[in-house]
Amino acid sequence: MLDIKFLRENQELVKQNIKNKFQDKKLPLVDEVVALDLKIRNLKQEVENLRQQRNDLSKQIGLLMRDKKIDEANKVKETVSKNNERISEIEAELDPLQAELYKKMLIIPNIIDKSVPIGKDDSENVEIERFGEPVVPPYEIPYHADIISKFNGLDKDAAGRTSGNGFYYLCGDIARLHSAMLSYARDFMIEKGFTYCIPPFMIHSDVVNGVMSFEELENMMYKIEGEDLYLIGTSEHSMIGRFKGQIVNEKDLPITLTSYSPCFRKEVGAHGIEERGIYRVHQFEKQEMIVLCKPEDSMKWYNKMWSFTVEFFRSLDVPVRTLECCSGDLADLKVKSCDVEAWSPRQKKYFEVGSCSTLGDAQARRLQIRTKGENGTYLLHTLNNTVLASPRGLIAVLENNYNEDGSINIPKALRPYMGGKEIIK
C-alpha cells in the first residue's frame, strides 16, 4: 500500500505506474482517493477548529459565570452544544469515509522498480542468466508421474477418493527423497546464517490483507468456515505477520529467517490443476526465506536471496535460469521480482521452481512493522524467496537425475538424508 502523502504529491507517477502494469481500470481510483483524502482532511480540520472554538468558549463561559452574567453564559453554552453536535456528526461521517479510503488504497498497486521490464504478462518476462548446462540425454525421459509410479511412489486415485483432484499420496523412496530435499533445504539456509522457524499454518484475515493483494487472496486462499482463519498459501504470510504492529530494534536488523510449512492454494485460473501429475496441486511443502531490513539494504538482500536458490538447485545437479518478471506479471505489492526456473530435459525447456520478491515497505505499512533509529521511527522493507517448493522441486531432481535403465541418481548433497543411498532402483 502506498503512502497517502506520496500519492497526493505524485498523482501522475502513480497513474503511469498503473498503466505500466496494464491495469487501466484502476486509473479512476487515483482521483477518487485524492478527492476522498481532501474531504477527510477538510472534515478533520473542521473538527479541530470546532474543538479549539469549544475550548475558547468554555473559558469565556467561566468568566461570564464569575461575573454573574448568566444569560450571556447560557447563550455561549448553546453555541458549545451546537459545536458538540457538529463534531459528533463529522466523527460519524469520518469513519466510513476513512474505511472507504483505506479500501481503495489497498487496490492501488505499489510503485515498481525502474529496472522492471514493461510487459503485459509472464510471456514477456526476460531471461537474465543461465547456471549449468541444460542437457537432453540420448534416451527418453518419461513424464514425472510415470517415473514416480514405477517406484510405486504416487497414488492420486486414493487421494481423489479422500480429498479430490489436486491432492496426492507420495510413498516409499520417492516420499523419502521429497523429505530429504526439504531437510537439506532447511540445513542449507541455516548454513547461510538464517534462523529456522516453523510458523502457524493458519492466519487471521487482518494478516492476510496485510501481506497480499485482493486478486491473490481470491485466487489462492482457503477460508476456514465460520472462523476468522485462512490456510496459508506460503509461510511468508505468517512469518511477516509475526511482526504485525511491532517496533523492531534497529540493532537487530537485518532479520533473516527460513521457514518450513505445508502450503494450501486454490490455484484458481486458466492454468488449472494437473489431472495426472503433481506440478500444480492444492497442497505442497515449502522451505522459504524471509528478510526484514532497512530500506537502503533491500536490493542487496534481493540479489543475495535469489542467488541462494540458484546455488541450492545447482548443488542438486539441476541446471537453472533466472527470469526478470515484467510489470504485468508482478502482484500489486511487489516492487521487483524474479523467478528461478529449473531445466526439464523431458520438455526441453525451463519451468518455475522458485520466486524472489522485494515488496518495499508495502507489507510493513499495512501491518505497521517499524524500527526506531537515530533518525526516528520508520517502516521496514520486507522480502521473500523460495528455497524449495516440493513436489515441484522433486520433479526437477527426478528428471535431471534419471538414468536410461529407469533408476534415479541421488545427488551427493541428499545422500546423508537418504541413509547413504546413492541410487534409487
Domains and CATH numbers, the chain: 4-107 (1.10.287.40), 122-424 (3.30.930.10)
What CA–CA distance (Å, rounded) separates 4 from 13?
13
C-alpha grid cell, residue 367: 501491518
- By residue count, the chain amounts to 425
Rounding to the nearest 10 degrees, give the CA dihedral for residues 165, 386, 346, 175: -60
What CA–CA distance (Å, rounded) separates 134 from 349?
9
Q: What is the model's pLDDT at position 59?
A: 78
H or E stretch covering 66: helix 27-66
Contact 353, 337 (CB under 8 A): no
Q: How many Å from the N-terminal Cα to the C-terminal Cα in the chain?
A: 52
Low-confidence ranges of the chain (pLDDT < 70): 268-274
Give Cα 383 distance to the centre of its chain: 8
pLDDT tens digits, 306-354? 999 999 999 999 999 999 999 999 999 999 999 999 999 999 999 999 9
DSSP at 269: S
What CA–CA distance (Å, rounded) separates 263 from 283?
6
What CA–CA distance (Å, rounded) separates 417 from 180?
5
pLDDT tens digits, 16-69? 999 999 999 999 999 999 999 999 999 999 988 888 888 778 778 787 777 778
Q: What is the model's pLDDT at position 100?
A: 96
